[in-house]
Every structure is written in C-alpha cells, then in structure tokens.
Structure 1
Amino acid sequence: MTKHTILTLGPIRAYQDELRALEVTHGATVLQLDKPTREEFLEEIASVAKEHKVTILLTTYSPILRNLNKDFVEPLLPSLRLVAGIGSGYEHVDVDFLTAHGVYYSNTPVGVSEPTALTTVMLILQTVRDATQAAANVRSGQWINGLGFTPDVRGLVVGIIGMGRIGKLVRDKVTALGMKVVYSNRKRLPEAEEKGATYLSFDELLQQAQLISIHCPLTPETRHLLSDEQFAKMQDGVFIVNTARGAVIDEAALVRAMQSGKVLRCGLDTFEEEPKVHPWLAESNRAALLPHFSCFTTRIFRDLELEILENIVAFMEKGTPNTPVNQPQ
C-alpha cells in the first residue's frame, strides 16, 4: 500500500482522533496547519512542501479557504493526488487546474443534504404563508392589520430545478405536506426514482410552477439561470426559494420581478455577492432572508468530517474518493 502524507488546512473539530488513527491503520503521515491569514497558510504550505511529499490535502471550513486556487496547490505538485474538501459546492476551487495536474477533488454532498433540504422547506412555508411580514407586524404592534389570506400549501405546485440529492429530499418533504412536485433536471430520473414528481422541460417548469426552488450547482452554465427572460415566463405572483448558490439568480432581475409583482415573495439563504445583500431585498418584508445558514446545526461538522475521512480512506484503499467531482487522467 502506498504511504500517504496528509496535510490538513484549518481546524478539525470532531474527528481529530480518527484522523490521527490513519497513521496506525494506513501508515499515513498526518500534518496539520491552521493559520489566521491566507499569506501565512501559503508560507507554511511552501515550507511543508520542501520536507514532505504531500499526496492528500484536506481542507476544512474556514473563510480563508473559500478561494482554493492554484496558490494553495502548486507547491504540493507533483506528489499531490487528492484535495478532500468540505461542503457540497466547489465553485471556489480551481477544479480545471487540479484535473490538468492529475488531482482529484472530492466534496461532501451527503452531510449538507438533510439540513439544506429542511431549511428549504422552512423557507417555502415562511414564504408562502407571508411569515416575515406577519412577524414584523407583531413586533411593530400592528398585529394582523394589513395582512391578507395566503395560499394553503396543500396542492401548491412546487417546481424543483435540479433533482439531485437535496432536490429529492425536498420533494419527499413537500409531498408529505400535500404539495405537488414538478422538476427540471439535466436528465429525467428513472420512473421509480421520481416518486410521483413530474418531469418537465425548464421552460415548462417556469410556466407551470407556483413556487420555484433551486437545487442546482453554480457553474458557468447555471450562473444567472433565472434572470429577466425567465421571470417573464413565470406565473404572476410566483414564489422563489433559493438554498443553492446565490449567483444562480440574477439578484437585480429578481428585485425587478418583485417590484413588478411577477414574484410575490421569495425565501433566500444564499446571495449573489455574499455577505452583501441587495438593499431592496434587505428592506423588504416580502423577502425571507437567512445568512447562508442552512447547515449551521450542532452535528454538521461531525457529519462533514466523517464524510471527508471516508473519502480519504477510499482514496488510499482504492485510488478513488467516494464523491469525486472530476476525473483526472
């Protein structure tokens, strides 16, 4: 078995002992760095690279590591073979650079799925029932003044864009609440996996859904997937919920659609230029807003770090992580 050297960037919060155990169970060398600045990280990585042939780079949650470009990786080449990252999204990673140099990138899509799906359902209910405005009324002493009747979610047609792991969980949860699900995906699911959801083309979904929930990754193709042209095709008074990536929606176009009444209310956990939020959205009680909060649960780091370790063990034993996002040659 190949002897691997694992370099971790950032704190290991839950599975420190299990990480260290890889030195015994798999003969690995484990090195750890946790620095307060990007510059210090880069200096230490360069220093480590002079003494060790790092084969696996493990990156944990840290704002400093939100732009994982070649500066972090290049000093570790050519020995580096896997970057094991945290979280489902990977738009902050230069995956093309890794692929070109024969390096896998693995993410952790399983651990984030349940809390993200649950937060989606929470935002769906809050958005449809106008709960943000109702809460504001109570706090301002207005009680029920100015509040109208809202739709009942039973029978509401929910359009899911992206029927992956999270989309499927959302489908199951809203179906249990009596909503009807239509979905758009790169490929139609096998009928046995649809569980009553109806496959539609993207344009058909825009036209038929009463609420649209976004669950696709952010890629060059999906950036501003919803903009003025797409909002114009939707029903008047549609609801929009986004717990995927903010830039999938053209935020300025969303504001225009809300100002015109095309979009009645929205629920957002992600934004185009985080932590910046469009001023109109920030001031509107028709927008239910969260600070990219869906995965802030007490068990999230335990789940994600376990998933990272499982990716590393799979790579050491089989040569491929469990959840690669690329296929280097």
Structure 2
Amino acid sequence: MTQNTPLIALTRAVFDDQITTLSRQYPLRSNQGDEPLAPAALHAQVAGATALIPTVADRIDAAVLDAAPGLKVVSNVGVGTNNIDIAACTARGIVVTNTPGVLTETTADMAWALLMAAARHVPQSERWLREGAWDRWALQQWLGKDVHGATLGIVGMGTIGSAVARRARGFGMKIVYTNRSRAANEAEIGASFMPLDELLAASDFIVLVVPYSPATHHLIGAAQLAKMKRDAVLINIARGGVVDDAALVEALAAQRIGGAALDVFENEPKFDRRFLDLPNVVLTPHIGSASLATRRAMAQLAIDNCTAALRGERAPNMVNPDVLK
C-alpha cells in the first residue's frame, strides 16, 4: 500500500476475518467495540478518511462530513439510510450505499417470531412460569389469539413485506396490504390492496415494513390506532418513528388494541420506559436482521460496496445516483 492508498474508517466492529481481509487492501481505522462513538470521537474517527462504513445506529450528518473533507464513500451497514444526511453527501460528491436483499428473509422471519409471540403470549407466559406461578393447568389460562385464518395487514409491500406475505399463506391467512403504489406481485402472493384506514379496520395483525422518512413519521398515531380492532396486534419491524410510541403506550394501557410487538423504537436505544410496565406488548432490541449468516452478509456487502466505489466502479447498491451527475 502506498502513502496515498485510501483510508477506510469503520464506526463499529465487524467480523474479524472480514477486517483481516480488508486490511490487506486498505489501511483501516476501526472501532474495535460496539459502543457508539460520541460526536467528538466520531469526528476523530473519520478525520482523513476516504471512505466510511457506519451502521444504521450512527448519525452521519453534515458535521461528520465536515470532519472528513476527503470523504468519497459512506457505505451503510443496513437497508435504512435515515441515519445519513443523503442530501449533504450528494452535495459533497459522496456516494452513499446500503445493504438491501441480504436481510430480507431473516427480517421476515423476525416479523413472524414477533407476531406469534404476541398472539400466544409467549414471553409473558414464560416469565410467569419462571417466576414459579404455574401450579395448575386451567382451561382459560393464557388464552391467545389464533393466527390461522386471520387477516394480516402489511403496511409496505416491498421485498420484506412480500416475504412476510409468503409466509402468511402457510397459515391460511387473508392478506391485505397498503403501499405507495400497487404491488406487481399481489396476485402471486395472494394479497389485496387497501387504503391504510381500511386495512387498519379489517386486520387482526398489522405488520409495519415501511422505510422511515418525513412522509412516514408517525404514520401510526392515535388516530390510526383508534381505527384498529380492539383485539388487533400491531407489529413494528420497520423503524422507530413510524409509530408514535407515546400514543401506542396509551392505546395499550387502555386496552384499545389487543397488543403490540416491537423490534424498533423512537430514539433507540433509549425508548419509552412505560412499555416495560405493559403486559400486552412484546419487546426486542432491534434484532430483526440478527442471524449470524445475515449480519455477516450485511457487513460483507457494505465492504464490497465501499471497495467498488474506491476502485472507481459504480457501487452495486448506491442510494444517491444523482451524485454521478
């Protein structure tokens, strides 16, 4: 490597063998831990870097970009890019990439894990058992909600939404969806289009799979929750901010809906602590893509996107093609 070889900065640890391989090609400045970097530390991490590999939990704003005037690539480990100021990157000629596709099936699996856990009170009943409360079998003990034959509403029929729908067919569910436009595969997956308000009123289970943007901020708030069935379950595997968490806490506490299962939260890893006191919500710490194979594939795709751009090639998963103009 010459003195002018591009420097790649990483905000979080990736897998050791991937670091070893990448370090043979480029000098690296890698955060060896999983602790998020404070702003000053993040600015120091990117200073002098030509490329940056952050995670969806790292805020890459204009101040970060100002700390790295030589930056050419921001290669996000994740599909969502709401953590990155894309307009600021484009204005500076910085290519932004993400990691779609590799986490589709794993995230759809997680939607079903949450749906089933909420429908059948799996975590609540397990805690009850572990606490020693189970002293008899009773006919009306831990009565859940049937999944088979129920109506599933999917908000956002992209690749992950379609994968969720394919799984629903095995349960004999009626599948309805809403999206910005009609899905080309709706006949193939057996789904019917509905406006959001109609979907909310008709569905027994509602899975949110939309990207976060100003247009989807608090897409589900108090007014939308009021349109749901009283025994319906809301599942959010999208992004924090798509749901108004404060409104959801109030709806769950008042039992205006049957329950919720959440893998994402507003302001995560901080979240509304009132969720912890509610018996009708399942909570997981943003682990939708967290299988070993998938997280490795995400990290590798981010590396491949980054190195392709550094070689002067069109990055495979560019999210701001206007930068090429």
Tell me whether the two structures share a fold, i.e. TM-score over 0.5. Answer: yes
Q: Percent identity?
A: 28
Q: Deviation at 1:307?
A: 0.9
Residue aligned with 2:115, SS? helix
In the TM superposition, residue 274 of structure 1 has moved relative to its aligned partner by 1.9
Superposed counterparts of 1:74-153, under 5 Å: 74-77=66-69, 79-143=70-134, 144=137, 147-153=141-147
CA distance in 2, matches of 1:180, 1:62: 33
1:269 and 2:269 aligned: no
Looking at secondary structure, tell me which structure has more helix per residue.
1
Query: Residue 71 of structure 1 aligns with which residue?
Result: 63
Aligned-pair distance for 1:321? Answer: 1.8
Question: Between Structure 1 and Structure 2, how many residues are aligned?
Answer: 311
Q: Secondary structure at the match of 1:149?
A: coil
Q: Which runs of 4+ in 1 moved over 6 A?
A: none
Offset at residue 109 of structure 1 (A): 2.3
Which segments of 5 or more consecutive residues in structure 2 lack a partner in the other structure?
none
Q: C-alpha displacement at 1:121, in angstroms?
A: 0.4
The alpha-carbon deviation at position 113 of structure 1 amounts to 2.4
**1:80 to 1:137, Cα distance in 2 relative to 1, 3 A:** closer
- TM-fit CA distance, 1:127: 0.9
- RMSD value over aligned CA atoms? 2.6
TM-score (norm 1): 0.84
CA distance in 1, matches of 2:197, 2:206: 12
What's 1:26 paired with? none
Measured at CA, do residues 292 and 45 of structure 1 come closer, stay the same or move farther in structure 2, by a change above 3 Å?
A: closer
Instruction: Give the equivalent residue in structure 2 for 1:258.
Output: 252
- 8 Å Cα contact 2:114/2:262 also seen in 1: yes
Please give the residue correspondences for 1:300-319 in structure 2 after superposition, counting only pairs within 5 Å. 300-316=294-310, 319=313
1:117-196, aligned counterparts within 5 Å?
117-143=108-134, 144=137, 147-191=141-185, 194-196=188-190
Q: TM-score, normalised by structure 2?
A: 0.85
State the distance in 2 between where 1:83 and 1:4 align: 17
Deviations 1:19-45 (A, max 9, x none): 245x4xxxxx44334377542442354
- Which has the higher mean CA deviation after the structures are superposed, 12-21 or 119-128? 12-21
Contact 2:75/2:96 (8 A) holds in 1: yes
- Residue 9 (structure 1) aligns with: 10
Opposite residue 225 of structure 1, the aligned amino acid is L
- CA distance 1:177–1:45, change in 2 (3 Å): same
Matched-pair contact (CA < 8 Å) for 1:136–1:285: no
Instruction: Return the letter of the residue paired with 1:59.
Output: I
Q: Which runs of 5+ in 1 are unaligned?
A: 24-28
